[in-house]
Structure formats: C-alpha cells, structure tokens
C-alpha cells in the first residue's frame, strides 16, 4: 500500500498552519471568482499566479493556494447559475437548466446545498481517481523518448480545440500563434537570438505569465467596457434563498445520478480535448436520457442539478491527471496551473512523481482538505457568497485590472511587461470577438520551447533522420489519436456545440 | 467578411514570421535541426490555417459601434499611460487615477467613481503592500 503511505506523507506536508490557511483563502477566493460572472477558474488562477510568485511562497504552498482556487471556482460557478440564471463560468452552464427553475419555485437554498453536495461527491471521487490513475499513466510515460514526447505535444494541441470546437482552423491558428510567440528570445540550444528585433527586453523571451494575465484577465475588462451594462447588473432582483437543507429523500433520489455523473465527468476530464464544460454537458444529457421518464428535466428537477455539478467537479479532478503525469494539460485552467509549475521551476511529467513526491502528494492531500473546506463553506455560508454577487461589474472590473497590473509589475518591476500585457489584452479581445480560442495560445507559449527541444533532440539522436518521429509503435499510436482527435470535431463538433449553447448561448467565453 | 480579413492578416503574419525565421543567424555550432526548422513549421501551420479561415469564413461577429470601439481604445490608452506613469507618480496616485477612469467609463457617477478609484487604490496598497509585503512602485511621495 505504497500509495497510502505516500498519501499520509502528503497530509503531513499539507497539514501545516500556513498551508491550511492558504487552502482556506484559496477556497474562499475561488468560490467568489467562480460565482462572479466574467471571472472563471482560468482568469482567477491567472491573476493570482504572479501574486503567489512575488510573495515568495514555496512550490507546495503556491500550488495549494492555486489549486484550491481552481476547485473553489468549480464550486462557485453554480451559485450565479442557480440564483441569476447566468453561469458564473462556462462549466456551470448546464446547471442553469434546472437550477434556475428550482430557485423560481422558492427552492434556491435546497438547490444550492444539493449542488454543493454533488460538487463534493464529484471532486472527492475524482481525487481518488487521480491518486490511482496518475501513477499508472506515469508508468507508460516513462517509456516515452523525445520523439514520443513530440507526438504527445502535437496530440495535445490537435485535440485542444475539443470535441465541441466549431472551427478547427481557428484552433490550429491559435496553437501556431502561441508556438510562434514561444520562439521569441534566445534559442536555448545554439544561443542565437530569434524574433527579438534587437529589443533587449525580448532576449529572455516573453514571460508566459504576462501573456496569460493579459489574454484572460484584461480581455475580460475590455469585453465589459464594450458591453458596459454587464448582464448581472440588469436584473438584480432579490432572490429568496429559503431553506438550506435538502430533504433526505432528495439526496437519496439523486445519489445514483451523482455517482454516474462522477464517473463520466472524470473520464471527460482525463481525455484530451474534453474538459469540465463537456463533462457537465455529457453528464446532464446522459442523465436526461436515462432517468427523465416524466419529462421533469428542465423544470427544476434536483437530478438535473446533481448531474452537471458532479460532472464538472469530477472533470476538474480528472484534468489534473494528464497535467501532473504527462506535463500536458487538457484544459484551460490546467494549462494555467502548468504555468504555475513552470514558473516555480518544477517540470511536470513522469519524473515529478519520483523527484518531487512532496509536491505531488502534498498537492493531492491539499485537494482533499480543500474539498472538505469547500463543502463546509458552501452550505452554511452560501448567503455570504450570494451577497458578493451583488457587487456590480463597474466596481469589480477596475479592481481586476489593477490587481493584474500589480501582479505583473511585482514580478519584474518594469513598465515594458505591463505594455506587453496591455497588448495581449487587446489581442485577446479581438480574438475572442473572432471566436478564436485562447487556451491553445497559452498552451503554445508554455510548451513551445519544450516541444521544439524534444523535436531537435529526437532528430539529433537519429543523426538528422526525420523519419524517427514515426518510428516506434508508441509514437505512431499517439499520432493516430492526434489525427482522429483533430478530424472528429469536423464531423460531429457543430452538433455538440450547438446543443451545448442551445440554452445559455454566451459569446466568446473562455472555456474552463 | 471579418474572417476573410482576419485570414489575410494571418497569412501576412505567417509570411513575415517565415521571413524572420529565415533571417535568423545560424551559429557555427548547431545541432542537426538548427534554430530555423521549427519556426518554419509553425509558420506553415499558421499560414495554412489562416488560408482555411479566409476561404471558409464563419458568420461575422457583432462588432461594437464606433463609440464603443473608441471606448475600448481610450481604455487601452489610459492603461498605457498608467504603465508609463507608474514609476513617476507612484503606485497609489497612478492606480487611483486609472481605477477612477475605468469605474467612470463602466457607468458610475463622477463622485462615486472618484471614491471607488481611491478605495481600490488604497485597498490594494494596504492588502498587498502593508499586509503582504509586496513591493509596489514608489513615487516621489514614498507611496
């Protein structure tokens, strides 16, 4: 029972006062960020990275803080879905379908606590799944050479657009743009400067934190400036929260739904190109098909809340599997978490488990702790969070912008980085208008150099023979999956996306 | 139409990226692949995807009216000024000005904006500098 011994070590690391406080802070901030429309898990984590970094937190404490934010945001998204019928973040979209009708029936409190329990079930079992699945994946990953890694990165990019992508050309464009941005700076292998145009500030390359905060957080500010009104402002009617504890019969009725959705959501999280939004979407549609005999889904059926919430939280846990075991994230927020690891000088991937076991198991233990905290926080304190929702965007958005500036300025203390960040903010706004996904850009800037190094290493080992890239069965397998993953959305993508957006169609949201 | 323009811009970007890649000076000590090959692959992907976007455009997005565009442009200018003036004016003053502007443009009244802007700036200063010890830009007045 090596796993349990490691897990016990992890708890020993995570259970210090500092780490518990950080987890508490992270859960609290995360829930707020998830609940506020316009701030999702990815921009929430993005704003906080530079701060965690400049505050001089160590690797494990920063990760604990930021993953607590991640889990917290997944919990928080449901609050505004249920109360305002506006999803707080994209994965919570499906929760609107039954959550809002329930709130209209005067059962908002029950809907909130039930969805809190469902979130807990999803996240709790997904964390167990992470514990058992990740080490297995590591065993496979240890067989990877440079050529296989190159194929794996290609797979990550080709599937990132996701099954729900409508336009694969735009995903490919975004990935290439990100990779191109990563090329800026001095080439690590030969020492020649590339694409720097003589600008000294660019020799180090672009800081990916600057790119992330600009693309995610600042572009959101521009979107709000464009629309100005801010939907949350418009219908600020008082919602009665009502009774907070769901009756036992309701919990009993929804238990099988939660368990099934957890399984499905976890799978969706692990698979490349799916992620939490899709996790909640398939969970909801499967439950609808399976148990909706009286056609009550969509009119405030408790199972219609339990399914997507368990699904998206399980997917959040599942998405950590490829990120930790392979170093290749499958969703937007895990890409941002990868940025955390990289800026702390920790290389994720199979060696992480043997070289930094304290980081991995401390993190996993922290996930359990955060999960219990979130459950405790989300049911009795839900009233507090609903009040936070009343903060209008005209006050919130300047704060977001200023905190982004503070974080980036804290890292380097140079105005140049701030200017680059503003540039990324504008670019992010334009690209979001044009429906170009932002996550591949981030992933490209993060992984670009590693991907290139693996390519060059593979070809140097084989003395310049490019065929080495498709030489082993393992790499051929990866390429096949990559190609299928790229072509599949062309066939079925339009349908899935149309269904997903049928109800809560929102333009240019950042996917989980 | 938007996508056609976007695709053409993308192609131009890819071409200039490829030219910039070809202009990279090779070092005399190089590996088998060299510093140019991967950027050229990236440029090819960029070019092909832009071509596809230009040939098969999606429905055009709803572009904001001219005054909204000016709004966004003005906000960007304010942010640039903020970045440049931060070391000159110091954190608290610069941030109060920028936050006031953004709050005002997002729809608060003039007095409410000034109050929110000041509150935001001082709040961030207290939390991040005094409590958490983050170093922020120092102005002539020491804050």
> Predicted confidence band at A233 (pLDDT cuts at 50, 70, 90)?
very low
CB of A483 within 8 Å of any CB in chain B? no
> Predicted confidence band at A128 (pLDDT cuts at 50, 70, 90)?
very high
Average pLDDT on A190-205 reads 82
Q: What does the pLDDT look like over A421-452, one tens digit per residue?
A: 999 999 999 998 888 888 889 888 988 888 99
Determine the distance in angstroms separating the CA of A174 from the nearest CA of chain B, rounded to an integer. 8
Answer yes or no: do B136 and A425 touch at CB < 8 A: no
Q: What does the pLDDT look like over A133-165, one tens digit per residue?
A: 988 888 888 888 889 989 988 888 888 766 556
> Which residue does chain A place closest to B125, by CA atoms?
A406
Q: What does the pLDDT look like over A9-54, one tens digit per residue?
A: 888 888 888 888 888 988 988 888 888 876 778 878 888 887 787 7
Tell which A residues from 18 to 77 touch B, by Cβ distance under 8 Å.
Answer: 51, 54-55
Q: Which pair of structure tokens corresponds to residue A491?
A: 């066939």
Give dist(CA A429, CA A409) in Å, integer. Answer: 22
> Predicted confidence band at A179 (pLDDT cuts at 50, 70, 90)?
very high
Tell which B residues from 44 to 83 touch A, by Cβ distance under 8 Å.
Answer: 45-46, 48-50, 52-53, 56, 58, 61-64, 68, 71-72, 75-76, 79-80, 82-83
- Report the pLDDT value the prediction gives residue A124, as an integer from 0 to 100: 92
Give dist(CA A16, CA A22) in Å, integer. Answer: 10
What is the dihedral angle through the alpha carbons of A343, A347, A349, A350, rounded to the nearest 10 degrees? Answer: -150
- Report the pLDDT value the prediction gives residue B10, as an integer from 0 to 100: 93
Average pLDDT on A62-70 reads 88
Average pLDDT on A199-203 reads 81
> Which residue does chain A place closest to B25, by CA atoms?
A192
Q: Residue A505 pLDDT > 50, yes or no?
A: no
Give dist(CA A59, CA A456) in Å, integer. Answer: 30
Q: Residue A393 pLDDT > 50, yes or no?
A: yes
Closest partner residue to B2 (CB to CB) among A195, A399, A434 is A434
Determine the distance in angstroms separating the CA of B140 from the nearest CA of chain A, rounded to an integer. 17
Tell which A residues from 135 to 174 touch B, by Cβ distance under 8 Å.
Answer: 166-167, 169-170, 172-173
Selected for mutation to probe chain A from B57, B72, B114, B121 (highest A CB count within 10 Å) is: B72
- Report the pLDDT value the prediction gives residue B97, as an integer from 0 to 100: 93
Closest partner residue to A180 (CB to CB) among B17, B24, B33 is B17
Closest partner residue to A456 (CB to CB) among B33, B82, B107 is B33
- Report the pLDDT value the prediction gives residue A286, as an integer from 0 to 100: 83
Residue A261 and residue A283 in contact, taking contact as beta carbons nearer than 8 Å: yes
Selected for mutation to probe chain A from B2, B25, B33 (highest A CB count within 10 Å) is: B33
Give dist(CA A335, CA A175) in Å, integer. Answer: 13
Determine the distance in angstroms separating the CA of A303 from the nearest CA of chain B, rounded to an integer. 36
- Report the pLDDT value the prediction gives residue A501, as an integer from 0 to 100: 62
Residue A110 and residue A241 in contact, taking contact as beta carbons nearer than 8 Å: no
> Which residue does chain A place closest to B58, by CA atoms?
A167
- Report the pLDDT value the prediction gives residue B44, as an integer from 0 to 100: 94
Alpha-carbon distance values, A258 to A80, A121, A361, A484 (Å)? 21, 7, 26, 31
Selected for mutation to probe chain B from A62, A169, A172, A420 (highest B CB count within 10 Å) is: A169
Provide the β-strand partners of residue A185.
A194
**DSSP readout, B42-57?**
HHHHHHHHHHHHHHS-
- 3-class SS of residue A451: helix
- Report the pLDDT value the prediction gives residue A377, as an integer from 0 to 100: 83
Q: What does the pLDDT look like over A102-126, one tens digit per residue?
A: 888 888 888 888 888 998 999 999 9
CB of B97 within 8 Å of any CB in chain A? no
ipTM of the prediction: 0.92
CB of B39 within 8 Å of any CB in chain A? yes
Query: Which ranges in B23-109 belong to alpha helices (H)?
Result: 37-55, 66-89, 91-105
- Look at the pTM and tell me if it is higher than 0.95: no
Q: What does the pLDDT look like over B37-93, one tens digit per residue?
A: 899 999 999 999 999 999 988 888 888 888 888 889 999 999 999 999 888 888 899
Comparing A83-87, A103-107, B16-20, B117-121, the range with the smallest average pLDDT is A83-87
Chains A, B: CB pairs < 8 Å: 195
Q: Which pair of structure tokens corresponds to residue B57?
A: 């455009």
CB of A452 within 8 Å of any CB in chain B? yes
Q: At A430, which helix (H) or strand (E)? A: helix A415-433
Query: Which ranges in A143-247 belong to alpha helices (H)?
Result: 146-160, 168-182, 208-212, 219-227, 231-234
Give dist(CA B123, CA B111) in Å, integer. Answer: 18
* Angle, helix B2-22 to helix A168-182, in steps of 10 degrees: 30
Angle at B29 between CA B25 and CA B32, to 5 degrees: 90
Residue A144 and residue A411 in contact, taking contact as beta carbons nearer than 8 Å: no
Q: Residue A229 pLDDT > 70, yes or no?
A: no
Closest listed residue to residue A396, CA positions, set B118, B26, B106: B106
- 3-class SS of residue A194: strand
Alpha-carbon distance values, A493 to A83, A156, A485, A500 (Å)? 30, 17, 11, 11
Give dist(CA A210, CA A227) in Å, integer. Answer: 25
Give dist(CA B62, CA B124) in Å, integer. Answer: 36
Closest partner residue to A415 (CB to CB) among B33, B87, B124 is B87
Residue A90 and residue A509 in contact, taking contact as beta carbons nearer than 8 Å: yes
Percentage of chain A modeled with pLDDT above 90: 9
CB of A191 within 8 Å of any CB in chain B? yes
Residue A187 and residue A193 in contact, taking contact as beta carbons nearer than 8 Å: yes
- Report the pLDDT value the prediction gives residue B76, as an integer from 0 to 100: 93
Q: At A366, which helix (H) or strand (E)? A: helix A357-378
Provide the β-strand partners of residue A186.
A193
- 3-class SS of residue A185: strand
The residue extents of the domains of chain B are 2-55, 66-131
Give dist(CA A481, CA A158) in Å, integer. Answer: 9
Give dist(CA A277, CA A511) in Å, integer. Answer: 7
* Angle, helix A59-84 to helix A108-141, in steps of 10 degrees: 140
Q: Which residue has the higher pLDDT, A226 or B6?
A: B6
- Report the pLDDT value the prediction gives residue A230, as an integer from 0 to 100: 46
- 3-class SS of residue A298: coil
Closest listed residue to residue A453, CA positions, set B31, B28, B140: B31
Determine the distance in angstroms separating the CA of B94 from the nearest CA of chain A, rounded to an integer. 10
Q: What does the pLDDT look like over B107-118, one tens digit per residue?
A: 888 898 999 999
Q: Residue A232 pLDDT > 70, yes or no?
A: no
Answer yes or no: do B31 and A224 touch at CB < 8 A: no
User: Residue A5: is it exposed, middle or buried by C-beta count within 10 angstroms (0-12/13-18/19+)?
Assistant: exposed
Residue A167 and residue A498 in contact, taking contact as beta carbons nearer than 8 Å: no
Q: Residue A98 pLDDT > 60, yes or no?
A: yes
Strands A185-186 and A193-194: antiparallel
Closest listed residue to residue A273, CA positions, set A428, A487, A33: A487
A-chain CB neighbours of B102 within 8 Å are 221, 225, 397-398, 401
- Report the pLDDT value the prediction gives residue A231, as an integer from 0 to 100: 45
Give dist(CA A268, CA A280) in Å, integer. Answer: 9
Average pLDDT on A182-197 reads 85
B-chain CB neighbours of A176 within 8 Å are 14, 42-43, 45-46, 49
Answer yes or no: do B86 and A415 touch at CB < 8 A: yes
Q: What does the pLDDT look like over A443-480, one tens digit per residue?
A: 889 888 889 989 998 998 888 888 888 888 889 998 99
> Which residue does chain A place closest to B53, by CA atoms?
A169
Mean of the per-residue pLDDT values of chain A: 83
């Amino acid at each position: 029972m090596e796993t349990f011994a490691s897990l016990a070590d992890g708890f020993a690391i995570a259970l210090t006062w500092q780490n518990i406080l950080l987890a508490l802070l992270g859960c609290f901030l995360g829930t707020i960020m998830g609940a506020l429309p316009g701030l999702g898990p990815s921009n929430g984590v993005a704003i906080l990275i530079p701060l965690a970094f400049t505050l001089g937190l160590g690797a494990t404490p920063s990760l604990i803080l930021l993953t607590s934010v991640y889990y917290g945001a997944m919990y928080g998204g449901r609050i505004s879905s249920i109360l305002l019928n506006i999803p707080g973040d994209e994965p919570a979209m499906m929760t609107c379908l039954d959550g809002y009708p329930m709130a209209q029936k005067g059962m908002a409190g029950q809907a909130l606590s039930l969805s809190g329990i469902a979130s807990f079930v999803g996240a709790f079992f997904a964390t167990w799944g992470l514990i058992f699945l990740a080490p297995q994946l590591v065993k496979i990953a240890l067989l990877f050479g440079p050529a296989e890694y190159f194929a794996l990165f290609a797979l990550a990019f080709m599937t990132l657009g996701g099954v729900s992508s409508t336009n694969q050309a735009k995903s490919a464009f975004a990935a290439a743009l990100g990779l191109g941005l990563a090329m800026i700076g001095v080439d690590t292998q030969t020492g020649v400067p590339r694409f720097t145009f003589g600008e000294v500030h660019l020799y180090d390359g672009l800081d990916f934190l600057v790119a992330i905060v600009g693309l995610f957080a600042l572009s959101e500010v521009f979107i709000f400036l464009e629309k100005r009104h801010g939907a949350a402002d418009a219908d600020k009617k008082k919602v009665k929260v009502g009774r907070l504890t769901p009756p036992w019969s309701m919990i009993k009725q929804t238990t099988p739904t939660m368990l099934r959705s957890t399984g499905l959501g976890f799978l969706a999280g692990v698979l490349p190109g799916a992620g939490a939004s899709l996790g909640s979407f398939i969970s909801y549609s499967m439950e609808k098909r399976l148990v909706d005999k009286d056609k009550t889904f969509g009119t405030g059926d408790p199972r219609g809340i339990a399914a997507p919430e368990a699904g998206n939280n399980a997917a959040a846990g599942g998405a950590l599997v490829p990120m930790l075991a392979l170093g290749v994230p499958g969703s937007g927020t895990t890409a941002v978490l990868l940025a955390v690891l990289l800026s702390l000088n920790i290389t994720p991937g199979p060696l992480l488990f043997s070289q930094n076991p304290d980081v991995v198991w401390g993190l996993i233990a922290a996930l359990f702790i955060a999960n219990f905290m979130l459950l405790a926080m989300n049911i009795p304190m839900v009233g507090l969070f609903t009040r936070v929702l009343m903060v209008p965007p005209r006050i919130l958005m300047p704060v977001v912008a200023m905190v982004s500036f503070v974080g980036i300025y804290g890292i380097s203390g140079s105005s140049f980085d701030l200017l680059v960040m503003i540039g990324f903010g504008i670019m992010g706004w334009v690209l979001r208008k044009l429906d170009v996904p932002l996550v591949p850009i981030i992933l490209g800037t993060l992984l670009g150099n590693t991907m290139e190094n693996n390519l060059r290493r593979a070809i140097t080992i084989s003395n310049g023979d490019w065929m080495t890239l498709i030489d082993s069965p393992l790499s051929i397998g990866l390429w096949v999956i990559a190609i299928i993953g790229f072509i599949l959305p062309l066939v079925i993508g339009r349908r899935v996306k149309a269904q997903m957006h049928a109800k809560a169609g929102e333009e240019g949201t950042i996917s989980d | 139409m938007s996508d056609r323009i976007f695709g053409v811009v993308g192609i131009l970007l890819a071409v200039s990226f490829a030219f910039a890649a070809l202009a990279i000076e090779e070092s005399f000590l190089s590996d088998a692949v060299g510093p140019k090959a991967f950027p050229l692959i990236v440029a090819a992907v960029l070019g092909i995807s832009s071509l596809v976007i230009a040939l098969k455009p999606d429905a055009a997005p709803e572009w904001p009216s001219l005054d909204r565009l000016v709004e966004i442009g003005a906000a960007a200018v304010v942010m640039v000024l903020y970045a440049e003036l931060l070391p000159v004016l110091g954190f608290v003053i610069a941030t109060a000005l920028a936050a006031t502007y953004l709050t005002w443009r997002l729809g608060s009244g003039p007095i409410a904006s000034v109050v929110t802007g000041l509150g935001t700036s001082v709040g961030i200063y207290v939390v991040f500098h005094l409590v958490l010890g983050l170093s922020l830009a120092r102005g002539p007045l020491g804050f």
